[in-house]
Amino acid sequence: MIRHVELAWGMLEGDIVVGRRQGWAREDAPAGHIARTTVALMDGLHVQWLLDPSIDMEAEMRFHVDGLKERWGVVPT
């Protein structure tokens, strides 16, 4: 379990760092914070879905990611 979470954190954080380098994420986007809170949200939604399968995990994650894009994304010029 620990390895799985660490792998998820690392992959997300790495993708955000790449995004900063490639210009689609703001330079000040806190990659580690975004990665940890996103994994925490996914885990929490998974628990809620186990209790109530009608929970739309995809829609909830899309809402979160859209918010991240709005706050930390860079609009191409």
pLDDT in tens, 61-71: 999 999 999 99
pTM: 0.87
What does the domain layout of the chain look like in residue ranges?
A: 2-72
Segment 19-27 long-range contacts (CB within 8 Å, at least 24 positions apart): 23/74, 24/73, 24/74, 24/76, 25/72, 25/73, 25/74, 26/72, 26/73, 26/74
Residue 1's pLDDT band (boundaries 50, 70, 90)? confident
